[in-house]
Amino acid sequence: MIASAPSAALRAPAPTDSSLLAGLAEAALAAGVAIRRIESEGIAAHLKADMSPVTAADGAAEEIICAALAKLAPGVPVVAEEATSAGVKVACGNRFFLVDPLDGTKEFISGNGEYTVNIALVEDGTPVLGVVYAPARATLFAGRPGGAFRALRAPGAPVDAQDWTPISCRPIPDGPLVVAASRSHGDPATDALVARYQVAEYIPAGSALKFGLLAEGRVDLYPRLGTVMEWDCAAGHALVAAAGGRIIRPDGTPLTYGHADDGFKVRGFLAWGAGALPRPAD
């Protein structure tokens, strides 16, 4: 069954980029409350059909976020990980939300705190607004056209975008690079690519936190050649682009979103800071 959007006559006026981004941040902070509560009570996980783990926190966070988005932007479709995994099909159109209510479930289960809540608004295949929130670290990243930001926010805290700190990607250095890569989902192709670079520091991290490291100028390059899902990276894509960085497919073509016919898969990407894509040393 395909979910349909309400008619345009029933939709509320569209909020500005800034107010909509603040609304996405509020939804992520609210989801963080449920996630931290379940984390404190004890985590029970089971496997989905694709053999990836899921917990009660994934579902609770997704329910909170989807309810918030329905009020914030009535009529805009929402593609959310758990609903999609359960077989819900959404007609995306040219404007829709992508939601990963708990990115890095393995990190959540392990207790290392490297998990995030990811919410992105996609327009014409490109993520234009994104929030990446790390509840265990009380750290919020947010990006919109013209600016990227970081703020320290405990779950459920007021958004108060007035004191968000602007962040930006740093220029790619001439020498060795700082490289981020997945802590729990490494793959041989990505390892082989990283081995071709001069690496000053290698930072393994879980979830979309790696996009935050790139956007705030702590990392130069984040390659991922293995297949991921659109909701894993859309919010981080919007954040990095807002911070002055770039993300493309491994073949050099633009990374776009809304590919329901391919199961919302992203078959690898290269993300880097300000400037040209760094060339391998060999």
Q: Which residues have CB under 8 Å from 183's CB, separation 6+?
A: 107, 114, 204, 205, 206
Nearest to 144 by CA among 5, 34, 25, 7: 25
Name the helix (H) or strand (E) containing 26.
helix 17-41
Show binding-site residues for Mg(2+): 81, 100, 102-103, 232
The sign of the torsion formed by the CA atoms of 175, 181, 186, 190 equals: negative
Show binding-site residues for substrate: 81, 102-105, 232
Show binding-site residues: 81, 100, 102-105, 232
Question: How many other C-beta atoms lie within 10 A of the C-beta of residue 256?
Answer: 15
Structure tokens, 250: 């491994």
**Greatest Cα-to-Cα distance within the chain, rounded to the nearest angstrom:** 58
